[in-house]
Each structure stands twice: as C-alpha cells, then as structure tokens.
C-alpha cells in the first residue's frame, strides 16, 4: 500500500515534469540583421531586443505554427550564411536571396517573396542612364555579397562600368544623391525605401533581374526546413503572407504568381519544377557554383589585385603617418606651450577614438564639404590616425638621445635645427625602427577596415570570395598567406637594420 | 700674458640650493688650470657656465670660444670617430669635406687614435673615446678647452699619455681648464690648482704647494678622501 502510494507519487512527478516541459518548449531562435531596417527587420530604438518588419512577422508565424516561442538573434547580414552553418540559430531570414551557392551549402526554403533588381539614378540623369549599358565608365553602387553585386560584376566586364560595394544599403543612395556614384542597383524594396529618404532620385521600374527571398537553416536540418516549407505554403494559401506583405506595403502583383508557382497551381508548364532556383539572374553558365579549385583560379587575380590595393594603401598611409608623425613629434619636443598643447590634443583624440569612426567621418561626415574619393579618404583616415601613434614613438625616441650629445653639439656651434637633423633625428630613427615596423604590420591589417567606405581590399575581396563559394576555408587560408607574404619580409628587413644600427644600451 | 678667461663673482642657484656663491677665476694662454673640490662643490657647473650651457643668476664670464670634453664623452653614437670630428667643421664652419677629413685624421693621430678613425663610439675603449672627444673639441680651433674629469676613465699609463697631450696643447697657446679628483695627476700635469668648497674658491696656487701644504680645511678633507680611496684600491 505504501509502495503503491510512493509509485503514484513518482508517476505524478514524472507526469508533471513532462507536462511542464511541454508547456515551455525551447524557443525558435531566428537570425536576422536589424541594421537592414524596415520593412525587413527593424529594431525598436529604445529597446533593440524588440524588432518589427515583415521578416519578423514571418519568423513569428513559423514559430507559432511550430508551437514554440520565437527569439530574435542579431547577426550581421554578411555573416548570416556562416552563422546558419554553425548553428547559431534555427532559421535565418532577413531579405536573404536565393542563390545557387547558398542552396548548395545550406538548407533553403521555398521562396516567399519575389523582388526586382532595379536601377536608381539622379532625377537629372533619368534619360541619360536607362540601362547598365549607359553607365560605361561610371561608378555603380550596391550591397556587397548580393545578387546585385554579381550582376554589376558581370556588367563591369560587359559594359565597362565600375561596381562599388557597400556594407549596408543606406550610403549607396546618399552617395548617389551627392554624386559619388552615378547609379545604384538593388532590390526594389530597398530602392523604394531609399526614394522616401532621399529626394531627387528616380528608379527605373524595369527589372534588371528577378530574385527571391528565402529562409535558411543549417544544412543538416532539412526536417526543420521541410516544416518551414509547409508553413510557408499554408500561409500563401490562406492569405496570411499577403496580409503581412500588405501591412508593410511590399505587396505587389508579382507575388500571386510566385505563390502560384510555389504551390504548383500555376498554369505555366515547367515553372513548378524549377522551384527554389533563382529567377532570370545571370548567364546560364554561372548558375552552377564553381568548385573550390576552379573558384580559386577564378578569384586569384582579383585577390592579387585586392592585395595590391592593401599594399599600396598601407604604404601611402604609412608614408603620410611617418611624415606627419615626425612633424608632430618635433613640434611636441621643440614647440612653444600652445603648439605643444594643440599637438597633444590631436594625438589624444586620434588615439582615443576608433579608426572606424574616423573613416566614417572623413568619408561620409565630410561629404557635404569635400567629396573625397574612397581611396583618398581611406589613405587620409589611416594616415592621420597612425600619425598620432608614430609621433609618440618619435617623441620618445628623440628624448632617448642623451642630452649630453645635444650639449656637445651646442658648444660645437650647431644650431638647434642642425643638431636635430644631423645628430638627434638619425639616432632617434634607429631607435624608432622596431616599433615603426610593428606599426606598419598593424596598419597592413587595419587597412581591412576601409571596406566600410567601399574600398575593396584583400579582406573584403576574400569575404566576397567566401560568400560566393559558401566556405571560408580556402579563401581564408589564401588571404592569410598573402598577408604573411607582405608582412614577413618587412619584419626581416627591420631586424637586419636593427642589428646593424644597434645602439649601446638599446 | 693677458687672461683668456675671466670669471667674476659668479652666482648660480638651482631650486633653493646655491651652487655657486661668488666664484672668481682667471686663466691665461698656456696654463693648465685644475678645479678641485668635493662632489657638489660646483666644479662641473663652472665649466658649464663658461661653455655657455648654463646661465648664471649673476656674475660675469669673459671667455673666447670654448671647446668641451665631457666626462662621459658624449660622442655622436651613429657616427664613426672621424665623422664625429669632422661634423662641426663641415656643417658649422663650412670647411670642405676632404680638408676637414685630412685635419681630423691629423688630430686623431696626434692624440694616438689615428688607427681608430673608422670605429663607432661603442667600439672604442674609454681612453680612445676620450681622445676622440678631445679631437672633436679641437677640430673647431677653440682657444679655450674645458675638460670635465678627463682622468675618470683612464688607467695609469693612459693618464700619462693624456698629461703629455694636455702639455702639448698648452704649449701651442691654448688655455686648458679641467675638473679633477685625481691629486696625483693634478700635481704632475696642472700648472695651477683652484680648490672649491661650498660654491666658493677657498684656495689656489701652484699644485705642489697647495696639495702638499694645504691651508684650508676643505683642501685637507679632499686630500684625505682621495688617500682613503687610493688606499682601498
């Protein structure tokens, strides 16, 4: 009797545990990028964990149909594929495009929205620039790692325009408005939003290509992907998706025919069989993602070109940093109190704020005053920033030259400037060489930051490469090897010079 | 002979410490004057004021162009010996490089370091570095040569070489003023000794007289300390 009561009690406990567990299922973690903003995913400015947008509502719809609460995870747009592969989230959606490489490396849902790649130009150029062929020799902006970017790379070869890649979709349009670029090619959803934000722009309604948004999951998670497909189809059938798209003002006549094709009720023969493959983008030959080896052949020249940009940018920026840093150091050692204070302030501000912020200010912040080309802005940003660090090295090196030598120089009749030029600076330079080399190697790597102002250097090119083949392994190793090839000889040369010039006690 | 160096009533204060409290000093061409005194008596400061490196609070210094040899030499570390010597003639006096080099080589040879012309300062011994420093000071032909503790880094044999070199310089009409702790060296090679204590000249005269029959307590203390130091060595 006692035993029965005990068993009953245990049974009750177990039952309670199971029910309790069933009542709080694991949340559906969904990844998206709130930097993309409305109407996709927009964060509440006062509480960034609260997001809204049509992608948010679709994610919540999927979660609700699965009987799980939803949990938003912020992932940078360019990293969504990698994060999905790693399993950082269960499903990813944030205007993610349906491209072959993605379908090959991840599990992808049926398309849930059809968009047009459209071209936006300044109103004054409405007649002049109607197609990509009209843009020979012009700069055309888009978001990096997208179908639109591939479209522009193709147009670069065919029509001789220059594709400019941005990390977000706001500045392509503001740079179009202020004349830095002559056209922007992006999804019509983004174009319409940008037209509301910038005056004086027009978008040609003709689609340059058709694309679709999809939901991605980790490659092995096909079971979840199949559930998502079922839920999306049901939402197409019962009008839930239409309601969501109408609410966010992105519903148009392209969608019913997409839905019809996805649901297999379309009268057009053949289309239902090609579900999930992209629309009319690209030449047939490029639809199949190339193998890693042939991709390497394809990308190697552009990696080397990008490496050349990294190297030349670093060299010019370092030259500027050395020249300006020397002047600052001399000013701080020999100057009057006022110039010393001003120079100290410069050094503290440049060292105390992120170089990323300085690049933004120089490129975008000053664009109303002076519209610098991206490479020049990058060179200035890195050079001005590193000048602060160099000046500190030179200042302490100048002060490390024994005072007694300067006394000796004075008695011998040298002027201050002569003593600096002939005695102090040459010795300071030998002392500064090792930390300078360090800084140059650091600058070589920091130069990867300039991709935020549209300069495609080695790291950015590697990222594009990796996105297109859906793997970081080979591009990452290639990129690392090129950086090492650039930095190792420098370190070797510096060590040689250091040995030759070694100072007593140094 | 007229004085080539006249120092009158020199006062100098650093912070709240009075270093020089009214120093008077004269030196003539051909003289080798030794300044002696305990550490902190103001010897080196007097040389620096005469050289124009430190400004006195009050007092007068009348001196021709001075050359100076520092206790730690302070050769220009990035230049070899001969370039240390030619730098000022070329850049300050505008002497042609070839001529400056010939003269510099001659000076180095006179001082016995001609074979070290191509050596960097860090490769020189203390005595060699000092003689290069003397050559560097002499290269611009100063009538007055100041030497701060010239025997500090020398062994006994080298001290005699230095003494001979100083005599040769004095014989050529230069005025030499040096600071020294070394009473034996001063006895042998100086023509006059000036003893400083607490920022004032307390005794001066011919070296053997002053050092063998010291009149002032400070001189006796100084000599005792030197004896003690030699005794230990």
Each domain of chain A, given as residue ranges in start order, spans 27-112+214-286, 114-212, 292-500
pLDDT for position B225: 84
Confidence of residue B123 (pLDDT cuts 50, 70, 90): very high
Chain A residue with the nearest C-alpha to that of B67: A411
Query: Which residue, among B113, B112, B111, has the nearest Cα to B80 in the 3D structure?
Result: B113
- In the structure, what pLDDT confidence band is assigned to residue B158 with cuts at 50, 70 and 90? confident
**What is the rounded CA–CA span in Å between residue B69 and residue A289?**
78
Q: If DSSP codes are grouped into helix, strand and coil, which group holds residue B77? A: coil
Is A422 in contact with B78 (Cβ distance < 8 A)?
no
Would you state the structure tokens that stand for residue B187, as one six-digit string?
């006895």
How many angstroms away from the CA of A503 is the closest CA of chain B? 7
Reduced DSSP (H G I as helix, E B as strand, rest coil) percent helix, strand, coil of chain B, to 5: 40, 25, 30
- Which chain B residue has its CA at the smallest distance from A405's CA? B74
Is it true that A114-212 and A292-500 share their CATH fold?
no
How would CATH label the architecture of A27-112+214-286? 3-Layer(aba) Sandwich (3.40)
Q: Which residues of A touch B (CB under 8 A)?
A: 402, 404-405, 407-408, 410-414, 418, 422-423, 426-427, 430, 501, 503-504
CB contact under 8 A, B93 and A422: no
CB within 8 Å: B77 and A414: no
What residues in B contact A426, CB-CB < 8 Å? 78
Per cent of chain B over pLDDT 90 is 62
Task: Note the helical H segments in A335-424.
Answer: 337-352, 355-363, 374-400, 403-412, 416-419
Burial class (CB in 10 A: 0-12, 13-18, 19+), A156: middle
The token duo for A303 is: 């990696």
Residue B54 has pLDDT above 70, yes or no: yes
> Within the 22-81 window of chain B, which residues sit less than 8 Å (CB to CB) from chain A?
48, 51-53, 66-68, 70, 72, 74-78
How far apart, in Å, are the Cα atoms of A468 and each of A23, A191, A291, A415, A471?
42, 24, 11, 62, 8
Look at A404 and B88 and tell me if their CB atoms are within 8 Å. no
Dist. CA A204–CA A200, nearest whole Å: 13
- CA dist A478 and B165 (Å) reads 68
Element (H, E) at A230: helix A222-237
Asked if pLDDT for residue B62 goes beyond 90, the answer is no
> Which CATH code fits A114-212?
3.40.190.10
Q: What SS3 state is found at B160?
A: helix
Is A292-500 in CATH node 1.10.3720.10?
yes
A314–chain B nearest CA distance, Å = 29
Residues 6+ apart with CB under 8 A from B152: B71, B181
C-beta atoms of B87 and A408 within 8 A: no
Placement of tokens 């610098």 in the chain: A372
Residue pair A203/A191 in contact (Cβ under 8 Å)? The answer is yes
Looking at residue A506, what is its pLDDT? 38
Which residue of chain A has the CA closest to B48?
A407
Q: What proportion of chain B, given as a percentage, has pLDDT over 70? A: 97
Q: Which chain B residue shows the shortest CA-CA distance from A413?
A: B92
List the single residue in B70, B93, B136 with the smallest CB-CB distance to A404.
B70
How far, in Å, CA of A124 to CA of A177, rounded?
11
Residues of A whose CB is below 8 A from B87: 412, 422-423
Report the distance separating Cα B52 and Cα A411, nearest Å: 8
> Each residue's pLDDT tens digit in chain A (506 positions)?
455 666 565 565 555 555 555 567 899 999 998 877 778 988 877 777 788 999 999 999 999 999 999 999 888 888 888 888 878 899 999 999 998 889 988 999 999 999 999 999 999 999 999 999 999 999 999 988 789 988 998 898 899 999 998 888 888 998 999 888 999 999 999 999 888 888 899 999 889 999 999 999 999 999 999 999 999 999 999 999 999 999 999 999 999 999 999 998 654 433 333 343 344 343 333 344 456 677 777 778 888 989 999 999 999 999 999 999 999 999 999 999 999 999 999 999 999 999 999 998 998 888 778 888 889 999 999 999 999 999 999 999 999 999 999 999 999 999 999 999 999 999 999 999 889 998 999 999 999 999 888 788 899 888 877 776 767 888 899 999 999 999 998 888 888 887 877 654 43
Q: How far is B63 from chain A (nearest CA, A)?
A: 13
All residues of chain A having their beta carbon less than 8 Å from the beta carbon of residue B123 are none
pLDDT score at A46: 75
Which residue in chain A has the smallest CA separation from B146? Answer: A411
Residues in A closer than 8 angstroms to B88, CB to CB, are 412-414
DSSP state of A505: T
Closest of B12, B75, B40, B83 to residue B179, by C-alpha? B40
**Minimal C-alpha gap between A427 and chain B (Å):** 6
Cβ contact B70–A408 (<8 Å): yes
| Reported pTM | 0.74
Phi, psi of A266, rounded to the nearest 5 degrees: -75, 145
Residue A464's pLDDT is 75
Neighbours of B186 (CB within 10 A): 23
Contacts of B98 (CB under 8 A, 6+ apart): none
Chain A residues lying within 8 Å of B125, measured CB to CB: none
Query: Measured between CB atoms, which of B67, B76, B140 is closest to A405?
Result: B76
Chain A residue closest to B79 (CA)?
A423
The residue assigned the tokens 């920026």 is: A317
- Is the Cβ pair A423, B76 closer than 8 Å? yes
Radius of gyration for the alpha carbons in chain A, expressed in angstroms and rounded: 29
């Amino acid at each position: 009797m006692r035993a029965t009561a005990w068993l009953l009690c245990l049974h009750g406990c177990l039952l309670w545990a199971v029910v309790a567990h069933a009542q709080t299922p694991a949340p559906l973690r969904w990844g998206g990028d709130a930097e993309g903003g409305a109407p996709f995913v927009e964060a509440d400015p006062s509480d960034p964990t609260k997001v809204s947008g049509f992608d948010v509502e679709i994610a919540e719809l999927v979660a609700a149909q699965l009987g799980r609460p939803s949990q938003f995870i912020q992932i940078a747009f360019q990293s969504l594929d990698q994060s999905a592969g790693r399993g950082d989230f269960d499903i990813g959606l944030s205007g993610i495009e349906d491209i072959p490489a993605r379908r090959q490396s991840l599990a992808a849902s049926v398309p849930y929205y059809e968009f047009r790649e459209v071209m936006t130009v300044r109103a004054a150029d409405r007649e002049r620039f109607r197609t990509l062929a009209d843009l020979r020799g012009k700069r055309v902006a888009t978001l990096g790692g997208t179908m639109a970017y591939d479209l522009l790379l193709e147009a670069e070869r065919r029509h001789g325009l220059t594709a400019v890649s941005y990390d977000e979709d706001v500045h392509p349009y503001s740079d179009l408005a202020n004349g830095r670029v002559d056209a922007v090619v992006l999804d019509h959803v983004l174009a319409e939003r940008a037209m509301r934000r910038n005056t004086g722009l027009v978008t040609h309604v003709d689609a340059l290509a058709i694309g679709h948004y999809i939901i991605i999951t980790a490659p092995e998670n096909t079971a979840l992907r199949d559930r998502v497909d079922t839920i999306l189809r049901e939402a197409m059938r019962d009008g839930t998706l239409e309601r969501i798209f109408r609410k966010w003002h992105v519903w148009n006549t392209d969608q019913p025919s997409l839905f019809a094709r996805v649901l297999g009720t379309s009268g057009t023969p053949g289309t239902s069989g090609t579900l999930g493959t992209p629309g009319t983008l690209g030449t047939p030959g490029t639809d199949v993602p190339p193998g890693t080896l042939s991709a390497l052949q394809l990308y190697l020249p552009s990696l080397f070109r990008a490496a050349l940009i990294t190297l030349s940018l670093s060299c010019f920026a370092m030259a500027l940093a050395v020249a300006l840093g020397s002047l600052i150091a001399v000013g701080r050692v020999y100057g009057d109190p006022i110039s010393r204070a001003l120079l100290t302030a410069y050094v503290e501000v440049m060292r105390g704020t992120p170089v990323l912020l300085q690049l933004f200010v120089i490129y975008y912040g000053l664009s109303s005053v002076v519209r610098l080309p991206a490479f020049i802005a990058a060179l200035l940003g890195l050079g001005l920033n590193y000048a602060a660090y160099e000046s500190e090295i030179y200042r302490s090196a100048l002060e490390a030259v024994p005072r007694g030598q300067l006394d000796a120089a004075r008695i011998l009749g040298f002027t201050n400037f002569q003593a600096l030029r002939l005695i102090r600076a040459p010795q300071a330079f030998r002392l500064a060489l090792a930390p300078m080399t360090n800084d140059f190697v650091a600058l070589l790597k920091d130069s990867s930051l300039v991709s935020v102002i549209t300069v495609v250097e080695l790291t950015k090119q590697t990222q594009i490469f990796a996105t297109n083949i859906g793997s970081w392994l080979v591009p990452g190793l290639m990129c690392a090897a090129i950086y090492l090839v650039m930095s190792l000889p420098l370190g070797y040369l510096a060590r040689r010079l250091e040995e030759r010039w070694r100072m007593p006690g140094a | 002979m007229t004085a080539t160096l006249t120092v009158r009533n020199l006062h100098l204060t650093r912070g709240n410490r009075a270093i020089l409290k009214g120093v008077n000093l004269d030196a003539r061409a051909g003289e080798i004057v030794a300044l002696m005194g305990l550490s902190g008596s103001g010897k080196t400061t007097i040389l620096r004021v005469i050289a124009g490196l430190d400004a006195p609070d009050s007092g007068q210094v009348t001196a021709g162009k001075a050359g100076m040899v520092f206790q730690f030499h302070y050769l220009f570390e990035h230049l070899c010996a001969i370039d240390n010597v030619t730098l000022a003639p070329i850049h300050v006096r505008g002497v042609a490089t070839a001529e400056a080099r010939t003269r510099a080589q001659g000076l180095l040879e006179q001082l016995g370091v001609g074979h070290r012309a191509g050596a960097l300062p860090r490769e020189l011994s203390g005595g060699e570095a000092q003689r290069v420093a003397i050559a560097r000071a002499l290269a611009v032909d100063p009538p007055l040569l100041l030497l701060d503790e010239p025997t500090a880094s020398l062994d006994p044999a080298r001290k005699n070489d230095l003494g001979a070199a100083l005599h040769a310089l004095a014989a050529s009409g230069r005025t030499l003023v040096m600071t020294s702790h070394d009473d034996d060296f001063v006895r042998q090679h100086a023509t006059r000794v000036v003893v400083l204590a607490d920022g004032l000249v307390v005794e001066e005269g011919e070296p053997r007289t002053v050092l063998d029959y010291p009149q002032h307590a400070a001189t006796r203390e100084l000599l005792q300390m030197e004896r003690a130091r030699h005794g230990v060595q």
